[in-house]
Structure 1
Amino acid sequence: MTPLTHSQQITQNPLLGKSEVELTEWVQQQGQPAYRGKQLHEWIYQKGARSLSEISVFPKQWRAELEAVEIGRSTLHYRSPAADGTVKFLLRQTDGNIIETVGIPTEKRLTVCVSSQVGCPMACDFCATGKGGFTRNLATHEIVDQVLTVQEDFGQRVSNIVFMGMGEPLLNTDNVIKAVRCINQDIGIGQRLITLSTVGIPGYIRRLAEHHLQATLAVSLHASNQELREQLIPSAKHYPLTALLDECREYVQTTGRRVTFEYILLAGLNDRPEHAIELAKHLRGFQSHVNLIPYNPINEVDYQRPGPHRIQAFVEALKNFHIAVSVRRSRGLEADAACGQLRASQKKADG
């Protein structure tokens, strides 16, 4: 096997995702003074440099020597704005794979919906990403890049992060945790403003708890009983609902952080008052919050979004059992709103 050249080794180890300490060590390895590490950190995370040639405070000769060094930024493949200000981005990675990320503005915040994988292996029946299959995990720098991309496009600081884009974050735990720490320490977004979403994989929530992050854990239940959950989430066959909830209770005890339970409302399937009552009985005495998500329809399946009266009846049924509940307002409905839809439609258009 032919060994990699120095420039090839550098290219395969992008600078994005590294801390100021790591960047300082790197510049010193290149024979530069330590203070250039702080400069490099500022240009990557605050000024959005996409190549070292842009960093004007560096000597021209050194910049020329480092022409092959990759900071690790993606290329914008497609941008899809919606009337409500939401913007979906398709980002091309260096290997040609395309991922989705979303910027969601409100009057007081800018939230980024981040992907953690190219595709998703969980194959949830209602999910456009799951219908497209799984390719690979995203590296730390590919996750962090999504936040910087949205921040630059909107011209304002990102305030909140939700790992609710393409992929199952806990199947990419190591890179996701590194990305959370980078987003927190290097970009400057508080961990309490970051949410990690999972459908639940045996043992992985327990593993996450050991890191004692201050981020919010959001568990995608989407059903009030095991039979219905298996219909919607194939992987649930290997993880009984009662076992999942037991692991969530352990998470609360270990971290002191409450768990958010996400529940997609599908008209006529899981949105009846009896489902709400069944769900409430599971969650009584639980330090938790239920986030109801009216379904965004996709072409691949016939599920429908329930009407406002059906949604409100579900909310009231939960409140009667003193369950904390909110309804997520859908954004960008006219712009391939469901995660994975824009990527799928663009694949067809490109193809």
Structure 2
Amino acid sequence: MQWSYFIDEIVTLSSFSNACTGLANANLALNVNPSYGKLISAEATFLSHSALLNGDKKYQYVSVEQETNGLVFDLIPLENRVNVFKVSVVCEHKTFTCNIAFLPAIDLPHAVFVLGSPRSGTTVVGNMVQRGLQIKSHGESHMAELLQNLVTTVTEYVKGAPAATNEGTLTWEVSPTYVKALQIQQFRELYSTFYTGPVLIDKTPGEPMLNSLSLLFLVYPNAKVVYCKRRGIENVASRMRKFADVPFEGHCNQWKQAFTIWRRNKRHLNNELLKHKSWFIEVEQFTLLKDAAPLIKQLADFLALPESAYVKMLNYQASETPEKTSDEGGVPKSLVDM
């Protein structure tokens, strides 16, 4: 059986050298940061269980692997439901705790997220990827923002509601990690209801989608991200034509903010959550307009698509070129023109 997992409620994600979200089958091995010294012991206690009513429930299938200085979860005994544990780790130089959630991930689709600042080519790239994969998707989703808001609301409630400080209530005992895991499971069910194939595409531009990126990797740890970007003067000029009621300064700030959020998320995902850089590709709209073939080939290879899919994507781009901001290939003549 396949599981997805994520690590939560930990002081620093660098406590483990592995990715802090991912997929696992029969077992999950997590190697401790070498600077913590020799791993002495590790213990897991169920959080998806009422210790108040039934007493603590230990998970007996966690072992210490001396050769790798890591702990190993045997996942075969797990029940087919959301399982959440509090894990206590004792090392030679450091002791720490964290929560680890395991969610059933049978037939989890491969997710492709196409995002970026509005007016940066997300539509043409999203449609092009749909052609290559030969699947259909909505023009835009905007559901990740809902997931982010739900997770924030429920976790803040079980942490900060008056009942959360009243020992003996269910709210006091429920783990924020457990309710987060349940929200993630519901989100998967929603997506799988509307996108029934082995691959799903979510094209949603804008800051809320960018802000939800880390959470989306808890939903789909195997996701691929296509970030569409466009040079500032061209993006702002295009925004001003489409959204004339927004002032020039507002467009500039939104373009800048999208890049700021993207760079922050890249650092977090590269260095802490995923600990690798193979999850994303950046597509520059000007390059897509002027020298499309090499960039589309790079995109097709990134998505592990065959040559036939590359040809479909190239043909689509040739007939549906990115929207131009002016009559000179999308480049405004001057700031005065804008």
Shared fold per TM-score greater than 0.5: no
The normalised TM-score by structure 1 is: 0.29
Greater share of strand residues, 1 or 2? 2
Higher Cα Rg, which structure: 2
TM-score normalised by L of structure 2: 0.30
